């Protein structure tokens, strides 16, 4: 029945760099979840919440299409999806409820260590491999650089050695991966953290109440971690 309130659906990364911290955040907000089962949906035992465990790349779309109410995802993935949807004239609306204190990384351009890099203009006419073609294209356009973008879903860091590209644009945290592949970071184009987002048009009063209960807890947990 239409009057019956739906459970709040939160999307999180199933396994990867954001999943442990996302789980820990939920736990410290008092959500009792049994995540040991390899299930897509985990029911929160003590609140009207379901946790959806998916690939991080699917989270922006699930929230923007209104399939999930909340989601935790990296700003890099969120912004890339937004740019893509703008181009495709698809809906790309969402609200950021909180910028979180994990998942920090930067999206950077890197070139072979022996390369003489004198600034972004030296990428003119070059080929750059990346998993983030829209973010890279936006940056290159802002900088007035004309380069060819090769879209790779993985193994971006081996592209120069494999002769597929002159440079790469990839996520960096410690820099160890770049170093191990004979590359040097030359330009940071985007700084990212995990964010908690909410879909547009969420009006169910029970669900809104639940979010209003969660937010102070999230803020409290983050303050305690500072
Ligand atoms: O399976 P699924 O699609 O869900 O996961 P995924 O493999 O696409 O993503 P995952 O788990 O690798 O990353 C999820 C999110 O974590 C990213 O979208 C970022 O927001 C964030 N994050 C933070 C990172 C990194 N740090 C990071 N270092 N994502 C990826 N990396 C990779 C980077 O691509 C490179 O291969 O780690 C390597 C570089 O690390 P350093 O420490 O060697 O510099
Ligand atoms: Zn992914």
Q: Per residue in 26-63, pLDDT tens? A: 999 999 998 777 789 999 999 999 999 999 999 999 99
pLDDT tens-digit profile of 149-178? Answer: 999 999 999 999 999 999 999 999 999 999
Characterize 80-90 residue by residue with b for buried, 16 or more Cβ atoms within 10 angstroms of its Cβ, and e for exposed: bbbbbbeeeee
Mean pLDDT for 2-13 is 83
- The pLDDT, as a whole number, for residue 5 is 65
- The pLDDT, as a whole number, for residue 4 is 58
Give the DSSP H or E segment for 107.
Answer: strand 105-112
Share of the chain above pLDDT 90, in %: 94
Q: Using a 6 Å cutoff on CB, does residue 175 contact ligand 1?
A: yes
Mutate-to-test residue for ligand 1 from 14, 16, 190, 197, highest number of ligand atoms within 8 A of CB: 16
Ligand nearest to the CA of 154: 1
Nearest ligand 1 atom to alpha carbon 179: 43
- The pLDDT, as a whole number, for residue 36 is 73
Q: Using a 6 Å cutoff on CB, does residue 55 contact ligand 1?
A: yes
Whether 3 has a pLDDT exceeding 70, the answer reads no
Tokens linked to 37: 């089962």
- What are the structural domains, with CATH classification, of the chain? 8-103+194-225 (3.40.190.10), 105-192 (3.40.190.10)
pLDDT tens-digit profile of 78-127? Answer: 999 999 999 999 999 999 999 999 999 999 999 999 999 999 999 999 99
- The pLDDT, as a whole number, for residue 34 is 81
Q: Which residue minimizes the CA distance to atom 17 of ligand 1?
A: 74
Residue 144, burial from CB neighbour count under 10 angstroms (0-12, 13-18, 19+): exposed
Mean pLDDT for 121-139 is 98
């Amino acid at each position: 029945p239409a009057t019956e309130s739906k459970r709040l659906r939160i999307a999180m990364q199933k396994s990867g760099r954001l999943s442990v911290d996302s789980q820990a955040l939920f736990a410290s907000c008092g959500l009792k979840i049994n995540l040991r089962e390899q299930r897509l949906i985990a029911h929160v035992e003590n609140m009207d919440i379901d946790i959806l465990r998916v690939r991080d790349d699917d989270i922006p779309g699930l929230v923007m299409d209104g399939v999930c109410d909340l989601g935790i995802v990296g700003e890099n993935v969120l912004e890339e999806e937004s740019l893509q949807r703008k181009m495709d004239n698809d809906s790309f609306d969402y609200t950021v409820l909180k910028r979180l204190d994990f998942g920090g990384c930067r999206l950077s351009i890197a070139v072979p260590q022996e390369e003489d890099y004198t600034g972004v203009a030296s990428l003119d006419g070059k080929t750059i491999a990346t998993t983030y073609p829209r973010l890279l294209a936006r940056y290159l356009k802002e900088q007035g650089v004309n380069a060819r973008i090769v879209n790779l879903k993985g193994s971006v860091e081996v592209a120069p050695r494999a002769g597929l590209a002159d440079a790469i644009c990839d996520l960096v945290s410690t820099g160890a991966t770049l170093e191990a592949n004979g590359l040097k970071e030359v330009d940071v184009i985007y700084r990212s953290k995990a964010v908690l987002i909410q879909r547009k048009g969420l009006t169910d009063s029970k669900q809104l109440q639940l979010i209003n209960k969660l937010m102070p807890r999230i803020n409290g947990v983050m303050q305690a971690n500072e």
